[in-house]
Amino acid sequence: MASASGSLPQGTLDLLILKTLATGPRHGYGLARRIEDTTDDALSIEEGSLYPALYRMERRKWIKASWKRSDLGKDIKVYELTDDGRAELRRRIADWGALTSLVSKVLRAR
């Protein structure tokens, strides 16, 4: 069980997944590792929650999945960003920026 250094704000996981997939197609496990690496495991998400999030996003057509056979002969489900997903990512990044700058402003205020 990963120790959460604070539960993720609503929607943050989606943002992380979208951002990570923007660098190229990945399978679920690869996504988890990549998120761990880029965040120095500081966010250390509960990996199980990754999959329902992926399925949800697939249903919303932000990402699409395809099955590939790996070099080891295993069937692997690989996710990649769709155009809708890319648009969603841009929107979320903008929202995130707006939110954080707003919060910092509030925090800086005397």
CA distance 49 to 76: 19
Which CB sits closer to another protein, 69 or 110?
69
Rg of the chain, C-alpha, whole Å: 16
Tell the smallest beta-carbon distance from residue 2 to another protein (Å): 6
Tell the smallest beta-carbon distance from residue 62 to another protein (Å): 13
Buried/exposed 17-35: b ≥16 CB within 10 Å, e otherwise: bbbbbeeebbbbebbbebb
Tell the smallest beta-carbon distance from residue 51 to another protein (Å): 5
Which CB sits closer to another protein, 64 or 92?
64
Which CB sits closer to another protein, 5 or 100?
5
